[in-house]
Amino acid sequence: MTRKSIDHAFTSQSALGAAGDPTYAGALSFMRRRLTKSPAGADVTVWGIPFDASVSNRPGCRFGPQALRRASAIFDNDPQYPFDRDLFAAMSVVDYGDCALDYRLPEIAHETMRQEAEAILAETGFLLTLGGDHSITFPLLQAHVARHGRLSLVQFDAHQDTWPVASGSHGRPRVDHGSFVKAAVDADLIDPATSIQIGIRTHAPEDCGIAILDGEAVEDMSAAAIAEAILARTAGSDVYLSFDIDCLDAAFAPGTGTPVAGGPTSAKILSVLRRLGALPLVGADVVEVSPPYDHADITAIAGATVAMYVLGLLAERKSA
C-alpha cells in the first residue's frame, strides 16, 4: 500500500511510482499521473480530447475525458488487478491534460488534434487518448501513421463506422464519428487485411475488407477465442487499438451517444483485453463516454478500466 499523500497530480516530482491520494480527494488526473505539458521521455502520455461536434445522436462526450479521469481515482494505488503490479514502478506515465479546441470552429478541430498528437508523439513513447467522439480517431491515426507507417486497426465497437465520407465546407472531407474508418481506409492509414472489428451490432454500406466479429459471434465465442482471432488477424503488425465504449451492452455502458442492445459484458471484453499482451500496440484511445447519460459512473468506470488495462499490458511488456 502506497503511503498516503495528496494532490500527486501536481506535487509529484517523477513520472514513476504509484500515488497515495485518497480515492475521494486530491487533484484529478488519469490514475493520479503527474500533470505536465512536457512529456519528454515518458513511456506513455495520457491525453484528453473533449470534442463531440461530429456525433449523429446524443451529444455529451466532450465531457468524457473529465469523467474518465474522475472514475480512474477508484484505482487506489494497490497492485492493479489482474496485473498484480504497480503499473508505474518501471513505466513512466504522465497526463498531458486536454487538447485546446475552439468550439466555434469545429471544421479545423481534426487538424488541431493531428498537429498536437504529432507533437506529443515526437516526445513520448506511447499516446493513450481519452475521447471525445469517435471521429477523433482519424487525426490520431494520421499522427501515428506519420511515425509508424500504415497500421492495423483493432476496433471494439457496436458500429462499423464505414459510412461514406461526405464533402464538407471549406473543401475538406466531412469525417464524422460514423465515417472515420472509411476515411482511414481511403487515406491508406490502415490495412484492412490485418484489421478487425469486435462487437458490431449494426449494418453499414460496406465493410472495407475489415474482418468483423459481430455481436452474435462475440456472444458465442470465449474470451480466449476472441483474443486468438484478433492476434491471428493482425499477424504481428503494428496495431492501433480504438475502444468505443458502446461496444459494451447498454446495461454496462448506458452513458454513450449511440447505445446498442445485445452487446457483451464488461467482464468478457476485459478478459479479451487481458489476453492481448502479444499485440504490438503503438497507440490507443477510449471514446464515446457521455457522462450526461451515465448512471453512478457505470460507463466512466468501464472506460477508465479499459484504459487501465492498456497501461497494464504496456507495463508487462516493458518488464518482459
Q: What is the mean pLDDT of each run of 10 residues along the chain (320 residues)?
A: 75 86 90 95 97 88 97 88 94 96 86 96 97 94 97 97 70 70 95 98 94 98 98 97 98 96 98 98 98 97 98 93
How far is Cα 176 from Cα 273, in angstroms, rounded to an integer? Answer: 26
Give the position of cell 513520448: 124
Residue 148 near residue 238 (C-beta atoms within 8 A): yes
User: 286 φ, ψ to 5°?
Assistant: -125, 120
Residue 84 is assigned to a ligand binding site: no
Cell numbers of 315, please?
Answer: 507495463
Backbone φ and ψ for 166, nearest 5 degrees, come out as: -85, 165
DSSP string, 213-234: EEHHHHHHS-HHHHHHHHHHHH
Query: What pLDDT sits at residue 57?
Result: 85
Report d(CA 88, CA 95) in Å as an integer.
13
Contacting residues for 266 by C-beta, under 8 A, at least 6 apart: 248, 252, 253, 302, 305
pLDDT at 41: 93
pLDDT tens readout for residues 153-207: 999 999 998 877 776 555 566 787 667 899 999 999 999 999 999 999 999 989 9
Does the annotation place 170 within a ligand binding site? no
For position 156, what pLDDT does the model report?
A: 98
Q: Note whether 14 and 42 are within 8 A (CB).
A: no
Residue 134, annotated as binding a ligand:
yes
Please check whether residue 23 is in contact with residue 82, taking contact to mean a CB–CB distance below 8 angstroms.
Answer: no
Residue 157, marked binder: yes
Domain boundaries, the chain: 8-319
In order of 20, 46, 99, 112, the CA distances from 115 in angstroms are 34, 16, 10, 5
- The answer to whether the annotation marks 188 as part of a ligand binding site is no
* Grid cell for residue 88: 508505474
Q: CA–CA separation, 18 vs 26, rounded Å?
A: 14
- Based on the number of CB atoms within 10 Å of its own CB, is 126 exposed (0-12), middle (13-18) or buried (19 or more)? buried
Among 3.40.50.12780, 3.40.50.720, 3.30.465.10, 3.40.800.10, name the CATH number for the domain at 8-319.
Answer: 3.40.800.10
CA 275/CA 224 separation, integer angstroms:
7
Predicted confidence at residue 172, as pLDDT, reads: 63
21 is in an annotated binding site: no
Given this model, what pLDDT does residue 178 score? Answer: 63
Quick one: which of 297, 298, 287 has its CA closest to 257? 287
pTM of the model: 0.94
Please report the pLDDT score of residue 1 as a whole number.
46
